[in-house]
Structure 1
Amino acid sequence: MCSHYNRFKTYLLALVFGVSSLALSTQAYAQAPDAAQIEKGTAVFDANCKQCHAIDEVVVGPALRDATKRWPSEAAILNFIKYPQKTIEGGNAYAKGLYDKYKQFMPNHDFLKDDEIKAVIAYIKNPPAKVEEKKTDAAGAEGAAKEAAPADNGVITYVLAALVLVLFLVLVVLGLLVSVLTKYLNSNTEGLDEDDKEVISQTLGFDKFFGSVAFKAAVGFVFFIMIAKAGYDKVYSVGIHQGYAPRQPIAFSHKLHAGMYEINCNYCHTGVYKAKSASIPSVNICLNCHNSIKTESPEIKKLYSAVEKNRPIEWVRVHNLPDLAYFNHSQHTKVGGVECQTCHGNIQDMEVVQQHSSLTMGWCINCHRETVVKAEGNAYYDKLVAMHAKKSKEPMKVENIGGLECSKCHY
C-alpha cells in the first residue's frame, strides 16, 4: 500500500512540476520585454525586415501584428526566421500556407543571433502604438509646416511691398511740394535777385543729364560689374553640378520607396556602410520585391526585359567626384555616423534624385572644420580625445585629426 502511495505521490509531483514548467515557459514567451530589448529589436527589424514587412500592412510579406500568436512557440519562430525554405519543405503547415499565399521564399536569416531574433519578436509584440496615426500626425505636421512657410514668406513680401509703396508716396508728395512751391515763387518774384530767379526758373534737362560724363561713367561701371560677376560665376561653376537631376531609364521614386515605405538605403545601396562606394543596385535587388508587386507596371516590365536580355539597368550616376579626389562612403557613414541627408538632402522626399550639395573642395573643408568627431564608444579615439582636451576646451573636430591634410583626399 505504501509503495503504491509513494508511486502516486511521485507521479503527482512530476505532473505538477511539468505543468509549472510549461506555465513558466509560456509566461516567459508571453511576458513583456524590457525597453532596451524592444529598442534593439527595432534596430534589427529596420535593418533586415522592414524592406518586406510592416506591422499593420502587407508589403512583400504579411503584416506582422499578432504574428507571434500564430506560432506554437518561440523556438518555432526562431527556426522559421533562420531557415524559412527548409521549414516550408519540412512540412510545416503554417509556413507552407504563407508560401502558397505570397509565392515567395523569405531569405535565410541564419546570420542573425538568437538574441537578435528574440529582440525582433519583442518588437513585433510591442510595436509603436497606433503606427498609422503617427504617420498621419507626421504628415499633418509636415503639411502645417509647408503651409506656415508660405505664410511667413507672404508677410515678408507684404512688408517689402508696403515699404516700396511708402517710398513712392513720399516721392510723390515731395514732387507735389516742389511743384507747388515753384509755382508760388514764380507768381511772386518781386524782391528776388537775378540768381534766385534763375534757380526758380531752371528746368531739368534730360539731354544734358544723359549726355554727361558722370552718367556715362556710372553706366559703364555698372555694366563692367555685371559682366565681371557673370564671368566669375561661370568660371567658378565649372565642374559643379548642384541641382543636376538626370532622367533615369526607369522612373524610380525615392519618395515612394525611402519615404513612404521607409526602405533603408542599405537595402538597395549595399555598400553604403561597408565600402568605398555606395554602389548602384542590381536588377535582382529590385526583383526581390517586384517579382510579385506591380508586375504589370510598364516601368517594372523594364526590369523583366533587362533580365531577358541579360543586360544591366543603365542607371545614370547623379553624384560625381573628379578622379583626383578620394572619398570613402563607409568612413563617413559607418565610422563618422554621417546621415545620408547631410550630403544628399531630403532624399526621402525626392521623386527624381538631384545633386543637393555642391560637392566642392570648399564645401568638404567647411564640413571637416565644423563636424565634431563622434568618439563615444570608440576606443580608437580615446588617446586623441585626451590629447586634444589638454590643448583646447572645444570638442574635437575632423580638422583636429588631420581632416584638412591634402593627402587625406588627394592621391
Structure 2
Amino acid sequence: MSSKRSLVGILLSSPTLAVLFFLLIGVSAHAADPAVVNSPEAIEVGKTVFNANCKTCHKLDQKYIGPALRGATDRNSAEWVKTWIKNSGEVIASGDSYAVALYKEYNNSIMPAYTFLSDAELDGLLSYIEYGDVVDPNAAAATIGGETGAVGAGGGIPSEYLTVILGVLILVLLLILVVLGLIISVLTKYINRQDLPEDDKEFVSQKFELGKVFKSDAFIIVITALVIALVAKTAIDGLYSVGVQQGYAPAQPIAFSHALHAGQYEIACQYCHTGVEIGKSANIPSANICMNCHTHIQNVGGKEGISPEIQKIYNAVDNNQPIEWVRVHNLPDLAYFNHSQHVAVGGIECQTCHGPIQEMEVVGQHSSLTMGWCIDCHRQTEVATQGNAYYDKLVQLHSDSKDALKVKDIGGLECAKCHY
C-alpha cells in the first residue's frame, strides 16, 4: 500500500483515530500471532502504515490521544484486532461488551474503516507495534550525553568571545594612535631645538587645524563619494527587496498554533495540507478538517466553556462559511512551483522551504523564496534517485562525473522549468 493511498483514506473517512486501537488494551492474554514477526521488512511495512494512518493519535510506548500500542498482540487476538481495524463499527454492532463500553466512554466516537489495508499491511502494522522503534533509556541517555559533548567540543567561537576580540582590537588601535601622537610630539620638540632655516621652522611649528581638514577638497570629495555610495546601495537593496516577503507573519482570523499541533502533538503536515503529495498546491485546510479532531478531543460534554478561538471553528461550520485564512507564502504568477514534485518525488522536507514550522506560534515566511534562492537550492540539492527507475539512465550517464547527480544536472537551471 502506498502512503498516498493511506492518506486519502484517512482524510475521506471519519477521522477519529483516538479509538483505533482501544480494544488492544483488553485484559485477556493471547498467544502471539505467527504473522507478527520481528523482521526488518515487516517492521518497515508497518511503520509506513502507522505513519500514514495512526501516528496522529497514537504512540507506541506512551498514552497519547489514544492508548499506547506496545504489547497489543499479547493482550488481544491479532486476528480480532485486524477485524477491528478494518471495521470497528461491525465489532461494536455485534454487541462486544468491551467494544461497546469503550465506544460509550469515548463519546460514541467511531473510528474510520480501513478496509483498503491488506492482510500483509495489517501484519506489518502489528509487527511494527510490537518490535519497531524500541528505545533503550540507558542508550538514549548515553547518546544525548555524547551529542552534547560533541557540540561543546566542536562548536564555533561564541559570539561573546568575538565581541571581546573586536573590543580588544579597537583598544589596540586607539593605543597605536596615542603612541603615534606622542612620537610626533617628541620629534617636533627635538627638531625645534635644531638650527633650522626659518621656512623649515615655520613648517615644523605649524599647528594642526581641524577646520582646514573639513574645508579641504580631498575631504569633500571623500565624503561626497561615501554619501553617493550609501544612497546607491540603499536604492539597490530596495529594488532587490521588491516582492520579497521574507519575515511576513500576518495575524490570522483564528490563532492557530503550529508549535502546538505540528510540534507538541506531531500532527503530520499532510493531514491538514492534503494536496502536498498529489498536486501543485498544498491546499489550505477547511474547517471540517479542524473539526475532525476538535469534535471529539475537546469539550466532550458539549460546546459550553470552549475557547473563543475554537468557537470560531464551530461558527464557520454551523454557518457553512469558509475560514478566511491570510496567505503567507505567495509566489508571483510568472513562477511555477509544484509541491508534489518536490515532496513526493524529490523527498524534500517541509522545513527546507518553510523553516522550523513546528516551532512557530504564528506562521511567517522563513525563506526569501526568490529566484536566486531557488537556483542555489537546485545547484546544491542531490537528486533522490534511489528506488526510482526514472533516473536510472541519467545516473548511468552521470557515472563518469566525480560529483553527485544534482538538480542542476537534470535541467534544474533551465528557464522553462519554472517559467511558463
Q: Considering the TM-score relative to the shorter chain, is it more than 0.5?
A: yes
* TM-score relative to the length of structure 2: 0.82
Structure 2 residue 86 is the aligned partner of structure 1 residue 82: yes
Report Cα offsets for 1:190-228 as digits up to 9, x if no partner: 423334422431111111110111111111111101110
- Bigger proportion of residues as helix: 1
The whole-number CA distance in structure 2 between the counterparts of 1:135 and 1:52 is 26
Offset at residue 388 of structure 1 (A) = 3.3
Deviation, structure 1 residue 40:
2.8
Partner of 2:112: 107
Matched, 1:64 2:69: yes
Corresponding position of 1:19: none
Structure 2 vs 1, CA of residues 233 and 292 (structure 1 numbering), >3 Å: closer, same or farther?
same
Shift of 1:301: 1.8
Match for residue 286 of structure 2 among 282, 289, 301? 282
Name the structure, 1 or 2, with higher relative contact order (CA <8 Å, separation 6+). 2
Name 1:6's counterpart in structure 2: none
The CA deviation at 1:325 is 1.4
Aligned to 1:270: 274
The amino acid of 1:177's aligned partner reads I
Q: How many residues align?
A: 383
Q: CA deviation at 1:282?
A: 1.3
Matched, 1:93 2:102: no
Shift of 1:150: 10
1:14-61, Cα deviation, whole Å (9 max, x unpaired):
xxxxxxxxxxx9344497512332233223212211111123444332
**Structure 1 gap ranges (5+):** 1-24
Q: Is the 8 A contact 2:92 2:99 kept in 1?
A: yes
| Match in the other structure for 1:303 | 313
Q: CA deviation at 1:100?
A: 1.9
Match of 2:260 among 256, 271, 295: 256
Determine which of 169, 174, 180 is the counterpart of 1:168: 174
1:302-361 deviation line (CA, Å, top 9, x unaligned): 211211221111111111111121111101111111111111112222222211221112
- Change in Cα spacing, 1:150 to 1:376, as seen in structure 2 (3 Å) is closer
Which residue, out of 218, 222, 238, partners 1:218? Answer: 222
Structure 2 segments unaligned to the other structure (5+ residues): 1-29, 300-305
Which letter does structure 2 place at the counterpart of 1:398?
V
Of 212-221 and 308-317, the range deviating more from structure 2: 308-317
Deviation (angstroms), 1:399 = 2.4
Residue 121 (str. 1) matches residue 130 (str. 2): no
Give the alignment of 1:306-317 within 5 angstroms. Answer: 306-317=316-327
Find the counterpart in structure 2 of residue 401 from structure 1. 410
CA contact (8 A) 1:255 1:351 kept: yes
Q: CA deviation at 1:181?
A: 4.2
Question: Take 1:378 and 1:41, find their aligned partners in 2: how far apart are those partners?
Answer: 21
Name which of 305, 329, 336 aligns with 1:326. Answer: 336
Which residue type is aligned with residue 193 of structure 1? P
1:154 aligns with 2:164: no
Whether contact under 8 Å (1:373, 1:398) holds in the other structure is yes
Determine if contact 1:29/1:74 at 8 Å carries over to the other structure.
no
CA distance in structure 2 between the partners assigned to 1:292 and 1:28 by the alignment: 33
